[in-house]
Amino acid sequence: MNILDSEVAKDLGIKLESGTLATFMGVTGEAETVYVHEVTFTVGSESFKTRAAFLARPQPHGLAGQRGFFDHFRVIFDLLAEEVELLPVDFTKTFVTE
């Protein structure tokens, strides 16, 4: 899931406490209170609806989720060029393996 700072919610006009209350365990092992909201992300020309958990207390960072963000893209890391490329996944195609 996408985890964003409470200030991002404020900037988007989202009333933080109107979301679904949840608790996440962070990498520090400490519980974090979050409020989950439906949001729309736009990356380049691609827009999609997803959920984001907004931290109850301000944090200087956010986290794009494996589910809810990266599952919408094929991700290519080019370490030499120091680039990351996000290619939209075409969900209308059906992949069949034999």
- Distances 15 to 29, 38, 42, 51, 64 between C-alpha atoms, Å: 27, 12, 20, 15, 21
- CATH class entry, domain 2-63: mainly beta
pTM metric for this prediction: 0.78
- Overall average pLDDT of the 31-48 stretch: 92
Q: What are the domain boundaries of the chain?
A: 2-63
pLDDT by residue (tens digit) across 7-37?
Answer: 999 999 999 999 999 998 877 788 989 999 9
With 70 as the cut, is the pLDDT of residue 98 above it? no
Mean pLDDT of 63-81: 91
Vertex 12: Cα angle to 9 and 13 (nearest 5): 85
